Amino acid sequence: MCGRFSLTSPVEAIRQLFGFQESPNLQARYNIAPTTQITAIRLPSDKAASGTELFSAHWGLIPSWAKTPEFSTKMINARSETVAEKPAFRAAFKSRRCLIPSTGFYEWQKLGKTEKQPWLIGLRDAPLFAFAGLWERWKDPQGTSIESCTILTTLAAESIAFIHHRMPVIIDKVNHRQWLEGGSELGLLQPFDSSKMSYHKVSRRVGNVRNDDIDLTVPIESVPSNSQQELF
């Protein structure tokens, strides 16, 4: 699964990779958690427009037929193996795809019955990349609209499977447009190239959503021992 990630690249670097025109004021986020607002990229609603569109979405998909937005807490991830058939995701899979920028994601390795070690995982030669995502627009009875999204997952790349058996789907930059335009490109929803993954242990402070600082991304061997006392 993918339950935490980071996005710390400057806005200009994000714009260059994804080609949007907006000029958002995005602050570095080192510990992005479910049910918060996250940055996503989609095709413009105007079919004649070129490029892409940046937007903000609630992390946790709210299907159009959901009675309340609380449904989203169960929808932060969508399994790529079943996304085309599941009622909560199939409509978005057909026509509402997005890319979710990231500079790394966290997974917890089980060390025993209760002990877990967090790892920060990214790409060796790409400090900024994109998860495959889906988005929806939900309206309450008063007509208030909420845009939400989910991150697709797949089996973990072989090099990181010892940490967790699943990982977010990462879309290579050459396939960004293909993913956004839709269709049945299930071939894109595969584990990323194992040789391109990078990973290192990080502080257990990342387990607390209130912590959001650069120290969370530092390899554990470089973190002062007194900062490791806060358990997950």
**Which residues have a catalytic role annotated?**
2, 107
Q: What's the length of the chain?
A: 232
Residue 179 makes CB contacts below 8 A (sequence gap 6+) with 97, 99, 132, 171, 185, 188
Measure the CA–CA gap between 214 and 180, rounded to whole angstroms: 31
Residue type, 125: D
Using an 8 Å Cβ cutoff, are 27 and 46 in contact? no
Using an 8 Å Cβ cutoff, are 103 and 128 in contact? yes
CB atoms within 10 A of CB 171: 25
